[in-house]
Structure 1
Amino acid sequence: MSIKTQKIFEAEFLLEDMREIIRKTSPHSAFSKDDKIQFNEKLKKLSEIVEELRTNKYTELKIKYITNGIELRTREEDFINIHPIQAAGRLTLEARKALISYGDGYSTCDWCRKPFRLDKIHRPPIDEFHSELAEFVGMDQARVVPGARRGFQAVVSSLIEKGDSVLLSAISHYTEFLAVEDSGGTVKEIPLNEKNIVTADATVQKIEDVKKNTKKLPKLIMLDHFDYMFGNEHDVYGIAKVANEYDIPFLYNGAYTVGIMPVDGKKIGADFVVGSGHKSMASVAPSGVLATTDEWASKVFRTTQMVGDITGRKFGIKEVEMLGCTLMGGTLISMMASFPKVVERTKHWDDEVKKSNQFLDEFLAVEGSKVISEYPRKHTLTKVNTTESFDKIAKTHKRRGFFLSDELRKRGIVGEFAGSTRTWKLNTYGRTWDQIKYLGHAFIDIAEKYDVPVKANKQGQYSGDV
């Protein structure tokens, strides 16, 4: 941990200590003698830290744990994090600030009034946020959910009965499987082509196979736009068209798209759009979005009709598949606070893809390194194969595959799968051009250190400090 990062956290924790004294003495902050002493002691330490930061002269004070074995997490402050599933979930400044204020459990319920439902709350403007979410993904209605998986579950439980077939891709996420299993359905996988892509033609063939074998059409098609295995783009437009021709509902899985690139569900031809807040919308986990058309809203967002047999109790307009309210407190507020920047960043998706390809151009200069995903890239999530480059070093290195993690960490880079030097994934989303350049040079530098051949770039050399 860098000393500057440590001091920032020290200062934040001191402010929280002072805040705790204020909380304990509410409503008038009537400090006792001991309260005043504690408050002033904290204030003095805070002033000292501010002075250290101003002068860049520091006293060392190691802070490893926040409390009870929970380590201080500083990888976003001290490193370039290329973890495949963390990149686009990194909180915005606004979300981090909002989380400080709204971290208490049911903080979003301060102004909950009739009809007592999350998407009807005016203060903070949660009702407006739901409308904005629907518009953002080009659909009619939307709900926030505890992760994309709960969006899958809500749709599947609404549409699927025991024995029904659901079409998924051969590399669909395990949570899609579980959603189908939970409803008693049966998964039927659409095969990949030689490029590890799902096509419309393959979907037609699978539909016909299911129809022939079960005498019924599939009840739902769920497809990732970009999958989690390779980050490859699948033909969602073509497959949505096929689904429409067969009159089969189509669920667009935007876990790796909603929040980082433009998504228009109706333009795609989707009946349902599911996104992940913590994966692609700069939000606290678990968070996500489920959006649909007016045609399907009454089914997937159906309200409870249950009546208690003794008490006669009813629960108004609570939605069954949502189990009433979904995201309360910090998760939802972080999603809302990040939303303006999330909307803006989707307009610059092409730049993110360019940066991904720029990095890989340099990464591939290390002889033996390969990109397993489709290339040139259309996404920032990429699967690579370094069996013929860095894995050759690992075979004789005393640290085996962990040598690469060690070398990257020395250069301020984390997020690779520790110990893996054969096939692994990385994500460059959200990185600046300078960081992209630094990343590429870092892998070049490691290769040269261990005498792995490096091909020259167009200028005939690589430059830059790592």
Structure 2
Amino acid sequence: MKCQDYSLNRQTERDNLNLNPLQRGGVLPPESRQALYEFSDGYSVCDYCSGRLDEIPKPSIHGFLEDMARFINVDHVRTVHGAREGKFAVMHALCRPGDTVVMDGNAHYTSHLAAERNNLNIVEVPSTGEPEYRIDPVAYQEVLDNLDDRGEDVSLVLLTHVDGDYGNLTDARAIGKIAHDTGIPFLLNCAYSMGRMPIDAKKLNTDFIVGSGHKSMAASGPIGILGVQEEWADLVLKRSGRHQVKELEMMGCTSRGAPIATLMASLPYLIDRVSKWDVELQKTLYFVSEMEKIGGVKQIGVRPTEHDLVRFETPFFHSIADKHPRKGFYLYEELKKKKIVGIKRGQTQWFKCSVYGFSQEQVHYIAHSFAEIASKFREMAD
């Protein structure tokens, strides 16, 4: 049998400035690339395992999990295959089929799937709609009060800390307090915040917190973080009756091999980089201001933005697509000529992007490149 060509290279992405928000927080530092090489074989971290992944002494996964717990301020940490698996595990441990979970209207689709897979009812807290799409704590209070008035119990409150559509940073501390005041456990999805910005799970009033190693923590995927406070540890980390060292919700062992090795190697780097979050945010604000000088380009979501993921409405670039011989593909192609990628092919009406991790000089170059493209085709927009 002859296999097909699987196109196993990322030369385009590696040789260009990649604006894809999914990629910006997952770029590996050199020490993690070395760990990727060292632990690239199969079950490479399992040579000294006595049955529990979280207790492996060499490499010191046990020590790493203790450090990670201190980094995000939780009592217990486990690695999972992604934030979605962490959400599913919490729901599966806490809820029963037919229970109700309340989540924000900007929630990631995997929050819906985790609930659906557990046969739970979803009640959404609506956003304010365009142009901000803000999630207000008072809206959570109203939804919970309405459910209580109807006699409907809620098993879990979930919030997306930073949503993947607009990059809105929501007041998790306030919503966590609302959940606790009504006696409901609180799960915070930090897929776009843990590893990019400082996170203190206890200050944010969380019972459970999930993060994404491959999205925001400079790790090779798939890997995520599940943080659990002490009150819930016996339930979420319950052991198997038949295989007594294995934790049920973790299916015994979760991420093993290259993903966990790269996340371990990246932790010192992450500890340093979250301390520079203000610098990253200022670069984003500069980028937004330069983009909006084009005219017909506007940041959508809470303003000023509080996160590096930015969504622009771009009617200016879309009007050019109507007349350009390459239609909507022209923008991607013009950017690629300038060694910039990450905007989806054919997308001109709106797009999401991030300049997280780029130097100020690179951010200036990216903004200037968009301005040059706008100037080049301005007559088509008239």
Q: Normalising by structure 2, report the TM-score.
A: 0.96
Counterpart mapping for 1:102-251 below 5 A: 102-113=39-50, 116-194=51-129, 195-213=132-150, 215-251=151-187
Q: Secondary structure at the match of 2:110?
A: helix
Q: Deviations over 1:3-29 (max 9, x none)?
A: xxxxxxxxxxxxxxxxxxxxxxxxxxx
Counterpart mapping for 1:26-425 below 5 A: 68-113=5-50, 116-194=51-129, 195-213=132-150, 215-305=151-241, 314-387=242-315, 389-425=316-352
Q: Which structure has the larger Rg?
A: 1
Q: Shift of the alpha carbon at 1:70?
A: 2.8
Is the 1:199–1:238 Cα contact (8 Å) retained in structure 2? no
> Runs in 1 of length 4+ with deviation above 6 angstroms?
none
Alpha-carbon distance in 2 for matches of 1:371, 1:452:
23
Is the 2:197–2:275 Cα contact (8 Å) retained in structure 1? yes
Greater relative contact order (Cα < 8 A, sep 6+): 2
Match in the other structure for 1:44: none
Q: Secondary structure at the match of 1:86?
A: helix
Report the more deviating stretch, 177-186 or 245-254. 177-186
Alpha-carbon distance in 1 for matches of 2:325, 2:266:
44
State the one-letter code of the partner of 2:110: T
Q: Shift of the alpha carbon at 1:216?
A: 2.8
Q: Shift of the alpha carbon at 1:77?
A: 3.3
Q: Shift of the alpha carbon at 1:160?
A: 0.9
1:442 aligns with 2:369: yes
Q: Secondary structure at the match of 1:395?
A: helix
Is the 1:367–1:453 Cα contact (8 Å) retained in structure 2? no
Match in the other structure for 2:378: 451
Is the 2:334–2:373 Cα contact (8 Å) retained in structure 1? yes
Q: Deviations over 1:80-110 (max 9, x none)?
A: 0000211101112111111111101100011
Is the 2:309–2:352 Cα contact (8 Å) retained in structure 1? yes
CA 1:452–1:243: 2 relative to 1, 3 Å: farther
Q: Deviations over 1:132-187 (max 9, x none)?
A: 11111111000000000000001000111121110011121111111111222100
Alpha-carbon distance in 2 for matches of 1:363, 1:147:
33
Q: Secondary structure at the match of 1:391?
A: helix
Report the more deviating stretch, 324-333 or 190-199. 190-199
Alpha-carbon distance in 2 for matches of 1:68, 1:89:
26
Q: Secondary structure at the match of 1:229?
A: coil
CA 1:375–1:75: 2 relative to 1, 3 Å: farther
Alpha-carbon distance in 1 for matches of 2:89, 2:298:
39
1:428 aligns with 2:355: yes
Alpha-carbon distance in 2 for matches of 1:158, 1:152:
10
Q: Deviations over 1:116-144 (max 9, x none)?
A: 10000010010001111111111100000
Alpha-carbon distance in 2 for matches of 1:165, 1:219:
6
Gaps of 5+ in 2: none
State the one-letter code of the partner of 1:79: N
Is the 2:320–2:380 Cα contact (8 Å) retained in structure 1? no
Q: Normalising by structure 1, report the TM-score.
A: 0.79
Q: Deviations over 1:356-392 (max 9, x none)?
A: 11111111111111111222221100110111x1111
Number of residue pairs matched by the alignment: 376
Q: Deviations over 1:373-432 (max 9, x none)?
A: 222221100110111x11111001111010000000000000001111011100111111
Q: Shift of the alpha carbon at 1:453?
A: 11
Q: Secondary structure at the match of 2:45?
A: helix
Is the 1:160–1:219 Cα contact (8 Å) retained in structure 2? yes
Alpha-carbon distance in 2 for matches of 1:238, 1:453:
48
Q: Percent identity?
A: 38
Match in the other structure for 1:5: none
State the one-letter code of the partner of 2:255: L
Alpha-carbon distance in 2 for matches of 1:123, 1:369:
52
